[in-house]
Amino acid sequence: MLYREAGQFKSSYEADGQIFPLRQDRLGIALLLVLAFVAIPQFASAYYFSAILIPFLIFSLAALGLNILTGYAGQLSLGSAAFMAVGAFSAYNFILRIPGIPLLLAFVLGGLSAALVGIAFGLPSLRIRGFYLAASTLATQFFVVWALTKIQWFTNYSSSGVITAQKMEMFGYEFSSPASKYLLVLAIVSVMALLAKNMVRSNVGRSWMAVRDMDVAAEVIGIRLMRTKLLAFAVSSFYCGVAGALYAFAYLGTVEPEAYSLDLSFRILFMVIIGGLGSILGSFLGAAFIVLLPVFLNVFAHALSLPTSVASNLELMVFGALIIFFLIVEPHGLARLWQIAKEKLRLWPFPH
How many angstroms separate the CA atoms of 334 and 282, rounded?
Answer: 6
Backbone angles phi, psi at 254, to 5 degrees: -130, 160
Taking CB under 8 A as the rule, does residue 4 contact other proteins?
no
* Beta carbon nearer to other proteins, 31 or 310: 310
Contacts of 163 (CB under 8 A, 6+ apart): 92, 155, 156, 254, 255, 256
The β-bridge relationship of strands 173-174 and 254-255 is unpaired
Taking CB under 8 A as the rule, does residue 198 contact other proteins?
yes
Q: How far is C-alpha 4 from the geometric centre of its chain's CA atoms?
A: 32
* Beta carbon nearer to other proteins, 4 or 201: 201
Query: Count of residues binding other proteins (CB under 8 A)?
Result: 69
Instruction: Tell me which of 328, 350, 351, 352 binds other proteins, using CB under 8 A.
Output: 328
How many angstroms separate the CA atoms of 217 and 185, rounded?
Answer: 40
Taking CB under 8 A as the rule, does residue 346 contact other proteins?
no
* Beta carbon nearer to other proteins, 237 or 249: 237
Sign of the torsion angle spanned by Cα atoms 333, 195, 56, 69: positive
* Beta carbon nearer to other proteins, 178 or 278: 278
* Beta carbon nearer to other proteins, 24 or 315: 315
Which residues within the stretch 202-241 sit at the binding site for other proteins (CB under 8 A)? 202-204, 206-207, 209-210, 212-214, 216-224, 231, 235
Q: Which stretch binds other proteins (CB under 8 A): 95-103, 140-148, 242-250, 283-291?
A: 140-148
- Count Cα neighbours of 90 within 13 Å in the Cβ-side half-sphere: 29
Which residues within the stretch 26-55 sit at the binding site for other proteins (CB under 8 A)? none
Taking CB under 8 A as the rule, does residue 339 contact other proteins?
no
* Beta carbon nearer to other proteins, 199 or 281: 199
Q: At what angle do helices 225-246 and 203-213 cross, to 10 degrees?
A: 110
Local structure of 172: helix, strand or coil: coil
Q: Single out the residue of 101, 79, 96, 229 nearest to residue 147, CA to CA.
A: 79
Taking CB under 8 A as the rule, does residue 102 contact other proteins?
no
Q: At what angle do helices 178-200 and 225-246 cross, to 10 degrees?
A: 170
Binding residues (CB under 8 A) for other proteins: these are 13-14, 17, 76, 124, 127-132, 134-136, 138-139, 142-143, 146, 149-150, 195-196, 198-199, 202-204, 206-207, 209-210, 212-214, 216-224, 231, 235, 262, 266, 269-270, 273, 278, 309-310, 313-324, 327-328, 331
